[in-house]
Amino acid sequence: MADSLDGPEGGTLWRVTYAGTGVLVVSSSAVAVDPDLFGPVYAALSCLFFLVGTVALLWAFALGISRSRLEEVTIPGLFLLSAPAAPPAVRRRFRRAVVLEMAVVVAVAALHPFTEVAFGVLAPLFGLGCMAVWGGRHARFEDRPTPTAA
């Protein structure tokens, strides 16, 4: 099986995820250096990432519901890309982005507690949402058995 990230199946989605992770890491670095200057912008950006992630999670949920008529969609497979729903390469790339997002924002929030920098902990929902959308669109689930007449 070809790597689903490099073909038409989800390639753009993981690139968007990595671009968002890059923006979050760069902005987190800037706010770690000067929270007074970059704090309000960082808080707004974090809230935007949270909003986009929330919409993406709802979209993934809707995709999962629509697929559940014909397939046995699982919550771990849909939202976390657990095996066998997604190939290992796909899982690693999306999970790597989410873990990096979480580690960076928690570290920066720990450096500047009780400031607007704490809004950063909302931002990793972006990576989770992108991962869930990939699951909703491209994950592989078992076919639902056809009902038999009693």
What per-residue confidence (pLDDT) applies to 2? 43
Comparing CA positions, the residue from 42, 17, 12 lying closest to residue 97 is 17
In the chain, where the domains are located: 11-138
How far from each other are the two terminal CA atoms of the chain, in whole angstroms?
Answer: 39
What is the rounded CA–CA span in Å between residue 130 and residue 36?
A: 30
The model's pTM is 0.87
Q: Tell me: the pLDDT tens digits for 13-25?
A: 999 999 999 999 9
- Token output for 44: 């707004």
Q: Tell me: the pLDDT tens digits for 26-66?
A: 999 999 999 999 999 999 999 999 999 999 999 999 999 99
